[in-house]
Structure 1
Amino acid sequence: MVDPDELTDPGPVTADTADWTWVLARRCPDCGFDPDEVGPPALAQAIRDAGQRYAAVLGRPDVRRRPAAGVWSPLEYCCHVRDVCDLMRGRLEQILAGAGRGTVSFADWDQDAAAVRGRYWRSDPAVVGAELAGASRAAAAAFERPAAGQWDWPGLRSDGFGFTARTLGGYLRHELTHHLWDVRG
């Protein structure tokens, strides 16, 4: 085990300022995610499967190594995915709690600030593995809950982009797929 006090801060990563919502309308040329292949019946299992694949990534001996300056290490990506699972589960729970009576609003979330605040680079891979396993299981269970009509209930991100429970699930599935591609998982 690595002593966190002996780790050196690798510095900041290049901020991702892209608007990734386009993946809800067309195939991602990088990771191959296709929004037309995403549907509620398979979503929960896809989340569980991705969680297992990330566990294998966390077992790599080079899990802390950044592939290039300004790019997260596999460990940092796994921390991000853990947090995204929790975030999307929470947003889905907000939509369901709104009971379709109107559009719920999501609090802002800055992934880069979360990485700095959480000191992702300093995390223990075993701890992250347990947390990610729990977060992916909880997200999968949450995305099993909506009934047919609930998939179209709305939510609004702080930048004004509108989601439904269905597109929120698709967005999460892209995050899981794309970051596995990022870490060659």
Structure 2
Amino acid sequence: MDTDHHPEPGTTLPPAIAPDGKDWTWVLRERCPECGFAASDVEPAGIGGTVRDLVPRWVSALHRDDAHVRPAADVWSPLEYGAHVRDVMRLFGERVQLMLDHDDPPFDNWDQDATALDDRYDLQDPVVVAEELAAAAAVTADRFDAVGGDAWERTGRRSNGSEFTVRTLGQYFLHDVVHHLHDVRA
């Protein structure tokens, strides 16, 4: 992950956000009651196009005057969600490539909450985050577009035992991107 966003020494940390310890893989089997996304409705060949279609909404959210503002002390701002989604784009692009290049690779653990604090999502420039998100989305969309045939069934796994195919990884990934648009109301 990009670590060029460290704050000046002495900068106050943002209010704590309760870490999200949920295993969201259930969204592969049922519709998300919060955002309405149904991963099982996603056709794998459409993942790349959907990623591209969602980018303008993220760019718009990150260009809002209130992009830095948290709606509540314990809820991320659109900027923080945007930085997270940028990193999700990067991470899932890497994971897809890993699955295509290796047989059943394990995924490195990623603590999204620690990354948000370590990289100070709250202090990043929303215009830069929008540009980085768009660039990461283009790479990830291209990687999904390049998948074909039996490659959709190649596997990878998280350290907690959750197994994915390239297809289900893409569906799971899209839920994250869509769900956080719901979070920022974009």
SS in 1 for 2:75: coil
Residue 147 of structure 1 deviates from its aligned partner by: 1.3
- Choose which of 60, 65, 84 in structure 1 pairs with 2:69: 65
- Choose which of 16, 21, 27 in structure 1 pairs with 2:25: 21
Q: How does 1:2-13 map to 2 (within 5 A)?
A: 9-13=13-17
Q: What runs of 5+ residues in structure 1 fail to find an aligned partner?
A: none
Residue 10 of structure 1 deviates from its aligned partner by: 2.4
Q: CA RMSD in A?
A: 1.5
For residues 53 and 120 of structure 1, the distance between their equivalents in structure 2, rounded to whole angstroms, comes to 19
Give the count of matched residue pairs: 179
Could you tell me which residue of structure 2 aligns to residue 93 of structure 1?
A: 97
For residues 61 and 14 of structure 1, the distance between their equivalents in structure 2, rounded to whole angstroms, comes to 26
SS in 2 for 1:163: strand
For residues 160 and 17 of structure 1, the distance between their equivalents in structure 2, rounded to whole angstroms, comes to 15
Residue 65 of structure 1 deviates from its aligned partner by: 0.6
TM-score for both structures, normalised by structure 1: 0.93
Q: How does 1:36-185 map to 2 (within 5 A)?
A: 36-98=40-102, 102-185=103-186
SS in 2 for 1:150: helix
- State the Cα deviation string for residues 53-99 of structure 1 (Å, max 9, x = none): 1000011101011111211100000000000000001000000001x
For residues 89 and 44 of structure 1, the distance between their equivalents in structure 2, rounded to whole angstroms, comes to 11
TM-score for both structures, normalised by structure 2: 0.92
Q: What amino acid is the match of 2:122?
A: W
Contact 2:55 / 2:137 at 8 angstroms: preserved in 1?
A: yes
SS in 2 for 1:155: strand
Q: How many percent of aligned residue pairs carry the same amino acid?
A: 46
Segments of 4+ moved more than 6 angstroms = none
Q: What amino acid is the match of 1:47?
A: V
Contact 2:68 / 2:122 at 8 angstroms: preserved in 1?
A: yes
